[in-house]
A and B are shown apart, each in its own frame.
Chain A
Amino acid sequence: MSHFTNNKSEQVDKPNTDDAYTLGPLQAGPPCCDPEPLIRVDNLSLHYGEKPALEGVSLDIYKGCITALIGPSGCGKTSFLSVLNRLTDMIPGCRVSGNVHFDHRNLRHPALDVQRLRRDIGMIFQKPVPFPLSIRRNIELPLREHGMSKQAELNDVVQQVLQDVGLWDEVKDRLASSALALSGGQQQRLCIARALALQPKVLLMDEPCSALDPISSGVVEDLIQRLRGKYTVVIVTHNLAQARRIANYAGFFWIKDQRAGCLIEFGQCKQIFEAPAHELTAAYVNGSRG
């Protein structure tokens, strides 16, 4: 598939540095990189059965930026992420309404190739979910599923993405051993590597650090920072300090009238944290509510 041959030429171009991270130097936080929205969400609502979970959410996700979604538990942030890669399809009784466009295509179109979409929009879950396979097979399995079958190519991609997430030096001698034996932080980085191997345009992250110890959490946070520019990242986090450190844009969700979650405010990260327009946002980021 051409998608993957591109990948190879890129690898050849890339200078081989001693640094475990090959995504380039750590970029500073805001201001933002590219003002072109990659995903446009317009008046999105979501119900589980009769119970509303999200109401009237509209926002733009900007290309190459890190967008943080903050707010208390149960206000629909995770549901919002699941809409973006159509994982909501797998939840019985889940109804979505409103418009979502990704790269000018209607993301909610029934005939959309969901398999292709999920390759373009990867997702990282709160709890790292390595498959009960070897480290190498964890990365290879989805690649094979998407049609890459030459072992040499697969080896290249495995090495490349493990280097990207800074895991290569730690695991290069035991690629054939079980991924379940890795530590929590290593597992999460493996999951990110597995998602990167598919060359996504967008990465959705659902509290990727909250199940990790502080040191692993720091390593993963650094990694997310390094994804900026090359990937578009949408991250749900409860850690306000983390959102402030890494995000270009921030969206604040809140539960309205004890019913459904909704977006209170969206804007540049700096503005949300330093000059919030809404009093609820101000109260939340100051720690007096939520």
Chain B
Amino acid sequence: MSLFRTDRQLALLLQSGALLAAALVLLILLFLVKESWPVLQHVPLIRFVTDASWHPVDGLYKLTPMLSATLYSTLGAVLLATPLGIASALFSRYYAPSFIAGCYRRLIELLAGIPSVVYGFWGLTTLAPLIGRLHPPGVSLLTCILVLTLMILPTVALTADAALAAVPVAYVRGAAALGLSRWGLISGVALPAARSGITAGTLLAAGRAIGETMAVLMVAGNVVQQPQSLFDPVRTLTANIALEMAYATGEHRAALFVSGLALMVMVLVLVGTAELFSKERHHV
């Protein structure tokens, strides 16, 4: 590529900007490792599982209750949000009359933008008392799963909608020309063609659920324990960081950074997998 002199100067300036932006990820990783080093240095990773309890001030670092709370709540939310989200996308693309479909899509877009703290607040004031009537205390793994479901549903619905929109019209027309019923057309042609896009969207939504803090912090009850039932209060990794960072010092603080590092790794694996799926889609 040929560049003129002013162009070369500008390119240099832009390159330093881009380099800075790209280096940010490394900087974040660097600082997470640096801050967690006091603990990582002398505590073998296995002790985050085998220690008797989570009492970081006394040097006990059992993270499994938080890990399982995060996993259960994410899993539950994804299991609920995926069918609902896909059904929502199908509704607005194939079932609803165009006016209703437009309104519905607008509603979902609006909800995708609602802050997590508002979802958490609503869950705390409205949902938790309802569930508490069923089985006290109300703030529980179940409430957490339901609020997370609401939060990630728009993500699943919007990505599924986009994936369905990308299905070539010729496929759908071809299927319709064969006299397939609407459901036959959807299950036989549209969904398989959009599968990788929908999967990628679901994985992204799962990443969002794992990383979510505020909503979970407000409705999960925040008791450090291995949940025995859906109605038990739990504390997730993210909530643990948010609750204890305020007063943690020394190795306690470092242990919290370790859990931050663990979160980041989990999310990155999910994002990476999602990217593989969306790559596959581009290649088809």
- Asked if chains A and B come from one complex, the reply is yes
Q: Measuring CB to CB, which residues of chain A are less than 8 angstroms from any residue of chain B?
A: 86, 89-90, 92, 114-115
B1 touches A115 (CB 8 A): no
Interface flags, B50-64, vs A, CB<8A=1, else 0: 000000000000000
Interface flags, B1-21, vs A, CB<8A=1, else 0: 110100000000000000000
Query: In the complex, which residue of chain A has the Cβ closest to the Cβ of B5?
Result: A115
8 contacts between A and B (CB under 8 A): A86-B2, A89-B1, A89-B2, A90-B1, A92-B1, A114-B2, A114-B4, A115-B4
Chain A residue numbers with a CB within 8 Å of B1 are 89-90, 92
Query: In the complex, which residue of chain B has the Cβ closest to the Cβ of A92?
Result: B1
Query: In the complex, which residue of chain B has the Cβ closest to the Cβ of A115?
Result: B4
In angstroms, how far is the closest chain B Cβ from the Cβ of A87? Answer: 10
In angstroms, how far is the closest chain B Cβ from the Cβ of A270? Answer: 39
Residues from 1 to 55 in B contacting A, C-beta threshold 8 Å: 1-2, 4
Chain B residue numbers with a CB within 8 Å of A86 are 2
Q: Report the separation of the CA atoms of residues A92 and B1 in the bound assembly, to the nearest whole angstrom.
A: 8
The 7 closest A-B pairs by CB, nearest first: A89-B2, A114-B2, A115-B4, A89-B1, A90-B1, A86-B2, A114-B4
Q: Measuring CB to CB, which residues of chain B are less than 8 angstroms from any residue of chain A?
A: 1-2, 4
Query: In the complex, which residue of chain B has the Cβ closest to the Cβ of A90?
Result: B1
| Count of CB-CB pairs between chains A and B under 8 Å | 8
Query: In the complex, which residue of chain A has the Cβ closest to the Cβ of B1?
Result: A89
Chain B residue numbers with a CB within 8 Å of A90 are 1
Chain B residue numbers with a CB within 8 Å of A92 are 1
Chain A residue numbers with a CB within 8 Å of B2 are 86, 89, 114
In angstroms, how far is the closest chain B Cβ from the Cβ of A209? Answer: 30
In angstroms, how far is the closest chain B Cβ from the Cβ of A146? Answer: 12
In angstroms, how far is the closest chain A Cβ from the Cβ of B5? Answer: 9
In angstroms, how far is the closest chain B Cβ from the Cβ of A86? Answer: 7
Q: Report the separation of the CA atoms of residues A132 and B268 in the bound assembly, to the nearest whole angstrom.
A: 43
In angstroms, how far is the closest chain A Cβ from the Cβ of B116? Answer: 41
Q: Report the separation of the CA atoms of residues A30 and B2 in the bound assembly, to the nearest whole angstrom.
A: 38
Chain B residue numbers with a CB within 8 Å of A114 are 2, 4
Query: In the complex, which residue of chain A has the Cβ closest to the Cβ of B4?
Result: A115
Chain A residue numbers with a CB within 8 Å of B4 are 114-115
6 A-B pairs besides A90-B1, A115-B4 with CB distance below 8 A are A86-B2, A89-B1, A89-B2, A92-B1, A114-B2, A114-B4
In angstroms, how far is the closest chain A Cβ from the Cβ of B271? Answer: 29
Chain B residue numbers with a CB within 8 Å of A89 are 1-2
Q: Report the separation of the CA atoms of residues A90 and B222 in the bound assembly, to the nearest whole angstrom.
A: 59
In angstroms, how far is the closest chain B Cβ from the Cβ of A108? Answer: 11
In angstroms, how far is the closest chain A Cβ from the Cβ of B1? Answer: 6
Q: Report the separation of the CA atoms of residues A162 and B249 in the bound assembly, to the nearest whole angstrom.
A: 75
Q: Report the separation of the CA atoms of residues A153 and B2 in the bound assembly, to the nearest whole angstrom.
A: 31
